[in-house]
Structure 1
């Protein structure tokens, strides 16, 4: 049986259910079969090179396993890995013979030979390429980058074919025939200017990358290359605000035959347990037959299954371990952080098309925070039938913008361009800009019912706004006062009674938010334990605490304080 026949048999086993697979894995198989058929047409822009699969397969034999029960044995690519290779290497452009695929996204559970496969890919391209290649292996930290790099070095050290054909110096591998190099890269390299003109960029464990800066540097530097390859391989994670999840969402749409996204140059495969349309897991994690969906290699042999079985037992006995089991072993993205406030998957389902909100009464919430930090106005528009639309606008000192971008690892500059953020001159927030924003809203016809504020640092601004005729209501920052609004905000989003226009700054703030709770299960956002800024979310809750009761003029804060003995 030829290697290509093995691939077609594998595809048939997936589609027939002989091999259990998740729906996105199945979509990837169908996409390959469609692309292969298209290549047979004379008017196709691509052709299929079966010899490339043979070359890659035999080159992989030069590597030896370094761990586990088969340590020391030659690498024998399994059918799943052949499926990856055939998609990445065998489709080529008729115009110049270059590979069709320029980007790759592979997501699967841990211990499924990811590092080994990446090592073979990077060595295959650099050793046999006709040009001088620069392959960068990029983790978020040096340790992550070193893992794949070590796999490359160990692999080529064990190869008789490659003996005396490379050298290592100054932390990089150089191929003598064509002067190609393989270099580990991490976020620290941005200070040295490394990572230029790559032909291969391998981003390992992208879910751990706090920003897309490494990916962006490598990808943008490839424009001059004939057949660049940008490679992302990862497991799932539990922070839906990080760039990997955004990439996951994009490639999920790319694979979905019912979605309009098309990109012939992007190969993607996602091996995960299945969820329903609401993002709820529908596969039973205790059913061992489901494990192969996320573990196309590990779940095919008894030792691997036993390892997963052991991990599950620990997770069931220690619930705090379940998040790690789901993301790393079952490859399921989950929105779960300790005391995390909002399920961001639910938040995304509450997005609505932007519309005119000026006719609706609006409650404004103020969270002034520190004068050197983010200051926010939360806007809660009151619709009929106890429904609300929420927005925010934030302010930041201009001189702190770059510093905050570096420390918070988010694109405040982009959010400023998009109109979600205003920078004020100097190194502290100029509250006159906050004041003017509110006055401009009234001049534009907004029906501002009242302004609900956290009194911290707000005395002067409150006096000014009162002089302009605004009704100012202090919102006590106590658990028992804010608990109802905090819970209602979340439940309203889940019921879609509270909707929004997909503001990325507000999305980020909510993804950062964690809560604290007292003995009576009252909750509020915990600024001290939220690792990133949550000011826009806090501002909205200040406003919602009043809007949900429909109060308009009477300040009831004293009533609540007296009744609760505060």
Structure 2
């Protein structure tokens, strides 16, 4: 066993015996490595371990020099944590063709832990030393994201005397002269996604910021013909659990989990995060998410400074948790509420709410889009039950599925959405739905509505004996019900039936805030549709001020009624 490998195994021992404080998933990754290494010694293993590669990678990395800070001009000295990752990625090989075992990498760690530096070394190592022509694509969602790792590659190889004269840069890409390999930055913003480019290496940087998996999917699909492709996701935690990165995070976490049945021999996973019940104020926990930054005084001071700001300015806490502690937080910037709070209010069995006052709020969007009824039942004693039903024109919903990237068809099958004939929503369906609620015995007190596009419908409902009540859509008028609804959710005074369409809308909702700290959910600021929660808030605006009444129809029909 060479000295680099001895360092790695010593690091693994320190993780397992607690000398180095590590999160649960980091420990799982170490145990997986040790088991895989031991399995490789068996004759029937499909893999073998090439320990010479460990030294090769180490010495190649030292060709890079630090270009700024107190270490400027000094060779890069890989940490034990970085060597652990490198040994996993490059030393496990397939017996039948000598190709690398791992085809995919998921690497999640807090910021400032030398992610870009490590990726630059990996990318250069494969491209400069590969025998065949390599095509490495560095993919961010924006130009700035994709250029960060690309700049790190260029800066790194510029600092290497060994690589001097062995590459050139032209037209925004690096070309290696010996084998004509190329390193190219991509981004969705620049409308460059590498489609059909036959990539051998794909690096998706800050995947949590990618709104869709489009770039990732294109790169993976283009690697089919490659003998040993490497698809590398590197990211910190994010704050939008509807994005593809969180789904990938959940999947790869199961790969590591020894109690999970999920197995994937092609996928290497490294996650450094705080564990669920860790105290963010306890400095000894910080190394779990910061395997490099939390090992030297300046790094500790930097985290301490960020925490102080986050504790004093609550809106900064989300960024601290995701970027510094690498914890997934289910709340976008200016998002309406953490979805974990909403989920806690869900019930598995629908309650009988017919005897309680119902306020079906209306939000009539453009006739070609989603239109919603938000049903708020006042249960008395400060408790409320929430439902919604939405409508969408049948001829538009497939187009909306493509643009919104959600399963409207599934929600229609589940009964949360009605697809109306034609290319526009016929408001007669909304009117009929409310009339049917009454005929089924629901106690409708008022019909709160946004007057936009609703004047004719309100008149029809009034002719049918309902009491329509306009809810002004101004921030001063909507601020109190919007704040109050959120407060009732936090205090678990709200129940709901886990409607996925309503949950999606709440997760989409972004707040508009004025100088007096009045708030309202804003369709212009929200990237996706929020009509169901807008309708619920319209209903709640009246339900919250209502005095509980007896449903006279039910009372007359009950055994308690008599003259």
Contiguous gaps of at least 5 residues in structure 2: 553-563
Equivalent of 1:495, from 484, 489, 492?
A: 492
CA change 1:297–1:489 in 2 (3 A) is: closer
Distance in 2, matches of 1:150 and 1:64, equals 14
Q: Which residue of 2 aligns with 1:175?
A: 176
1:359·1:446 contact (CA, 8 Å) conserved in 2?
no
The alpha carbon displacement at 1:119 in A equals 0.7
Q: Which residue of 1 aligns with 2:191?
A: 190
SS of 1:190 mapped into structure 2: coil
1:358·1:446 contact (CA, 8 Å) conserved in 2?
no
Distance in 2, matches of 1:306 and 1:232, equals 29
The alpha carbon displacement at 1:16 in A equals 1.4
Distance in 1, matches of 2:317 and 2:35, equals 38
TM-score scaled to structure 2, two decimals?
Answer: 0.81
Q: Which residue of 2 aligns with 1:506?
A: 503
Q: How does 1:341-380 map to 2 (within 5 A)?
A: 341-349=336-344, 361=354, 364-371=360-367, 373-378=369-374
The one-character-per-residue Cα deviations of 1:89-109 (angstroms, maximum 9, x if unpaired) are 222333433323222221212
CA change 1:105–1:191 in 2 (3 A) is: closer
Q: Which residue of 2 aligns with 1:252?
A: 253
Asked if 1:97 is matched to 2:71, the reply is: no
Number of residues of Structure 1 aligned to a counterpart in Structure 2: 538
Q: Which residue of 2 aligns with 1:205?
A: 206
SS of 1:219 mapped into structure 2: helix
Q: Which residue of 2 aligns with 1:107?
A: 108
The one-character-per-residue Cα deviations of 1:523-558 (angstroms, maximum 9, x if unpaired) are 75455655653211122334456778776879xxxx
Q: Which residue of 2 aligns with 1:69?
A: 70
Distance in 2, matches of 1:425 and 1:259, equals 45
Decide which structure has the larger Cα Rg and report it.
2
Q: Which residue of 1 aligns with 2:27?
A: 26
SS of 2:183 mapped into structure 1: strand
TM-score scaled to structure 1, two decimals?
Answer: 0.81
2:346·2:495 contact (CA, 8 Å) conserved in 1?
no
Distance in 1, matches of 2:268 and 2:465, equals 56
Asked if 1:411 is matched to 2:408, the reply is: no
Q: Which residue of 1 aligns with 2:557?
A: none
SS of 1:210 mapped into structure 2: coil
Equivalent of 2:288, from 282, 289, 293?
A: 293
Q: RMSD over aligned Cα, in angstroms?
A: 4.0
CA change 1:482–1:326 in 2 (3 A) is: closer
Distance in 2, matches of 1:105 and 1:426, equals 45
SS of 2:189 mapped into structure 1: helix
Distance in 2, matches of 1:424 and 1:178, equals 59
The alpha carbon displacement at 1:343 in A equals 0.9
1:480·1:522 contact (CA, 8 Å) conserved in 2?
no
Contiguous gaps of at least 5 residues in structure 1: 277-281, 555-566
Q: Which moved more, 1:478-487 or 1:160-169?
A: 478-487
Asked if 1:535 is matched to 2:531, the reply is: yes
CA change 1:300–1:350 in 2 (3 A) is: same
Q: How does 1:358-507 map to 2 (within 5 A)?
A: 361=354, 364-371=360-367, 373-378=369-374, 388=385, 390-395=387-392, 410-412=404-406, 414-416=407-409, 419=412, 429-431=425-427, 434=430, 449-450=443-444, 452-456=447-451, 457-463=453-459, 471=466, 473-474=468-469, 476-477=471-472, 483=480, 487-488=484-485, 491-492=488-489, 495=492, 498-501=495-498, 503=500, 506-507=503-504
Q: Which residue of 2 aligns with 1:119?
A: 120
Distance in 1, matches of 2:87 and 2:122, equals 12
Q: Which residue of 1 aligns with 2:559?
A: none
